[in-house]
Amino acid sequence: MTDTIPACYNVSIVNSNQFWKTDKVLKTELPIIAIQIVFVVGLSRIFSIIYKPLHQTRLISQIAVGFLLTPPLLGRFTPIFEFIFPVNGIVNVEILSHIGLIYYAFLSGLEMNLNTILHVKRKAASIAIAGIIFPVLVAPWLYGLFRKVYGHIMMFPLEESTSNAYILWTLILTVTSFPVVAHTLSELKLLYTGLGKAALTASMIGDTYSWILFTLFVPFSINGKGAIYTVLCTIIFVVVCIFVVRPIIQWFIDHKADKDEWNDNQLLFIFMGVLACSCISDFLGAHAIVGAFVFGLILPHGKFAEMVNSISDDFVAGFLILSTLFVTLFFGMRTRDGLTLGLILNNKGAMALIMLNIAWDRTIFSVPTYAVITSAVLLMTILVSPVINAIFKPRQRFEQNKLKTIQKLRVDSELRLITCIHNTRQAANMISIIECFNAMRVSPVHVFALYLVELTGRAAALVAAHIGKPNNQPGEQNLTRSQEELESIHNAFDALGEAYDAIRVETLNVVSAYATIHEDIYHSADEKRTSLILLPFHKQLTLEGTLEVTNVVYKDINQNVMQGAPCSVGIFVDRDFGSVPKMNLHVRVIFVGGPDDREALAIAWRMAGRSGTKLSMVRILLLGEAAEVDASAHDEAQEILSAVIDTDKQKELDDEYINTFRLIAVNNNDSISYSEIDVHSGEDIPVILNEIEKFGCDLYIVGQGNCRNSKVFTNLLEWCECLELGVIGDILVSNNFGSRSSVLVVQQYGYGGMIFGNNLNHKATSKGMFESVV
């Protein structure tokens, strides 16, 4: 190793008999550490924004700050560097970073779910084991090759003792990082695909094995021959923590959590326990993070873990491929998926950096060795996300199947649909509409219920909490609110599957940021090959009989889904539809024209096959002024002509489908009726809808209105409050309209999603005028 130049500074001892021996700590030490924290965290956030398009983890942003402080960059400006990082402030930085590292290990243990690990399926375990065995066998050979190649270049000498270097080199290339993998999958929107679930479970198993390897082998590189005693004492410490300390802590925490008696003072004892376990493992000769990880592992999961994560997150956060490919091929996965899985499991995290730090502090690695292995770790982590994004783009596959609609679905085919849910009340509403889809043995219904959970804080913590169905295993009695909701939703949909032989149900959960959760819905719908996505309306019925906003974010999610869904979409507006007797159900379709209205009719036609269901179809014929083609969005004469031709083509498709419907359905079923109403101007539409409402019904099914190219409807759309419902749907849902019927608004796949533009800003000012028209 190269010579190290010590840096010395004077410290005045003023209070020799007190805990703080130096004078004015708050005035001298605190301002320096505060400036350093603000500087580092601020730069880290800036780099995080810069790297976001490349889907890089926060770890890479933090490492970039470290590179920025090196002598070739910011470090060359001595006055600036010494102002931010004076010699007497380096010790404080190291202490604070070490504490942050300890709590990072604690949170990593808290995120681990032992029940998932112990009951893992053979496929995930095999992938994880293969991802460890291959590097363990290959890494020593790579290290030997490195020494042989670099041995001829004597600019910097290599380390003389190779045994410790072999151990750390192998472990660094072997370990993976569950938090980094979870973040990568979330950023790439692969978390809830089959590939993502396999990678996530395999990563959790691999991360557990990494901690075991770290505990068993790192002491040998630190303590030499005496490490055997360290390992034995550490194993005894872990056993005592699991079988003696864990039951006591679990009883105490469960008792407090049940009564919601936790406060900040009591949580302080938890953090003191982290430091105590870290000190014990450090005293035994292992690294301090081992004790912190074990303490996090033995704490109860569920409500308590969520509370600790939410409090600790901001504090802590501020501060090989071929093997998996062969195993995935053995389990029947595609080559591309196997390659992607191998890349994902090559993500490195804090564990690899900790080992690098140990190797550097203990002079186990020489400068060339440290530089090579550090570069390898960074390149593996940096390149994973861009490469996966390039070779695995599910969105490109959306266009391969143009038949993901109810209208094009064969009569004897299985109807596969996704229903999105935010809470238990919406689950009951969705179940009531799914029951109407006439599930039969010849044409069964397969329901995928997606419980949408907002991602806040650490991705790995929430994702780990939602792997699989919540259960009543020891240490998980206190479920979080979202886990309780998932349990309730799961039970509700299980009851639906048990009540109907022709309905299959799968309950899934999606943990993602609301701003991008629509992409997870896209990928789930694409992977499950669904024909319909059912979304809940962002308003719910009150006791007064009006619709009021529950969460405006739900509206944004619905609009985002409609803009690029890989199948048809329906928004269900519930007005106590569950109380309607299904053996005496009246469904009404209001048909104007276009692909969305044809899809609405197809859904209603399917429902009409259910015993006790009455279907009334009302076709609105646009004549005269109302039939004018909308040419406002077309500047060229050729484009206007194209719009007219497209309108004529849509009318031909409407006539063809309606004629088929009348011939097959209306003429052969007395419970199905058909009628037509002429409309000559835009003012007639609200009047006609009011007249239709007088006849009453339980459920309206209408199209959103895409591809109508009608000047009348384009003008009315400017006054709509909810553009995602279209003109007809918005009127029927309006509180001023006074209807008590539920509404299902449908958008058919294959004609492009609804575009939400400037009208979103215009609707707020025009709401009153629209209500006066209604």
For residue range 570-604, list pLDDT tens digits in order: 999 999 998 888 888 999 999 998 899 999 999 99
C-alpha pair distances (Å), 645 with each of 599, 635, 640, 650, 652: 21, 16, 9, 9, 11
DSSP structural state of residue 226: G
Q: List the beta bridge partners of residue 376.
A: none
Is residue 89 within 8 A of residue 32, CB to CB? The reply is yes
What is the structure's pLDDT at 473? 45
What is the structure's pLDDT at 569? 94
What is the structure's pLDDT at 445? 94
What is the structure's pLDDT at 380? 74
Helix or strand or coil: residue 284? coil
What is the structure's pLDDT at 750? 79
Is residue 257 within 8 A of residue 304, CB to CB? The reply is yes
C-alpha pair distances (Å), 503 with each of 330, 441, 463, 762: 33, 9, 28, 43
Helix axis angle, 178-187 to 367-391, nearest 10°: 30
Cα 472 from Cα 586, distance rounded (Å): 43
Q: Which two tokens stand for residue 455?
A: 């991602």
What is the structure's pLDDT at 458? 54
Query: Which residues have CB under 8 Å from 84's CB, separation 6+?
Result: 35, 36, 39
Cα 100 from Cα 732, distance rounded (Å): 56
C-alpha pair distances (Å), 300 with each of 108, 207, 233, 268, 427: 14, 19, 25, 16, 29
C-alpha pair distances (Å), 624 with each of 72, 591, 627, 681: 76, 18, 5, 8
Residue type, 492: A
Cα 267 from Cα 689, distance rounded (Å): 60
Cα 352 from Cα 524, distance rounded (Å): 33
For residue range 502-550, list pLDDT tens digits in order: 999 999 888 888 888 898 898 888 888 899 999 999 999 988 888 999 9
Cα 7 from Cα 447, distance rounded (Å): 67
Q: Which is nearest to 200 in space by CA: 261, 263, 138, 111? A: 111
Q: Which two tokens stand for residue 592?
A: 């104007």
Q: Which is nearest to 175 in space by CA: 276, 68, 293? A: 293
State the pTM of this model: 0.68
CA angle 597, 601, 606 (to 5 degrees): 150
Is residue 278 within 8 A of residue 292, CB to CB? The reply is yes
Is residue 648 within 8 A of residue 620, CB to CB? The reply is no
For the CA atoms of 520, 523, 528, 532, the dihedral, rounded to the nearest 10 degrees, stands at 80
Run of H or E including 463: helix 459-465
CA atoms within 13 A on the CB side of 109: 24
Percent of the chain at pLDDT exceeding 70:
74
Domain boundaries, the chain: 25-85, 99-391, 406-464+482-627+646-747
Helix or strand or coil: residue 6? coil
Query: Which residues have CB under 8 Å from 418's CB, separation 6+?
Result: 447, 448, 449, 450, 521, 524, 525, 528, 530, 532, 533, 534
Run of H or E including 100: helix 87-111
Q: Which is nearest to 368 in space by CA: 149, 131, 639? A: 149
Q: Which two tokens stand for residue 523?
A: 């990928």
Run of H or E including 659: helix 637-664
Residue type, 173: L
Is residue 352 within 8 A of residue 385, CB to CB? The reply is no
What is the structure's pLDDT at 561? 93
Low-confidence ranges of the chain (pLDDT < 70): 1-26, 113-120, 124, 151-155, 161, 183, 187-188, 190-194, 222-224, 256-266, 301-350, 385, 388-403, 456-481, 630-645, 752-774
Is residue 351 within 8 A of residue 59, CB to CB? The reply is no
Q: What is the 3-state secondary structure (H, E, C) of 104-161?
A: HHHHHHHHCCHHHHHCCCHHHHHHHHHHHHHHHHHHHHHHHHHHHHHCCCCCCCCCCC
Q: List the beta bridge partners of residue 79.
A: none
Report residue 227: phi and psi, to 5°. -70, -25
Site of tokens 């088929």: 660
Is residue 425 within 8 A of residue 542, CB to CB? The reply is no
Residue type, 350: A
What is the structure's pLDDT at 317? 45
Is residue 716 within 8 A of residue 607, CB to CB? The reply is no
- What sign results for the dihedral spanned by CA atoms 263, 266, 270, 276? positive
Cα 68 from Cα 114, distance rounded (Å): 39
Q: Does domain 406-464+482-627+646-747 have CATH number 3.40.50.12370?
A: yes
Report residue 701: phi and psi, to 5°. -125, 115
Report residue 453: phi and psi, to 5°. -120, 130
Is residue 534 within 8 A of residue 420, CB to CB? The reply is yes
Helix or strand or coil: residue 653? helix
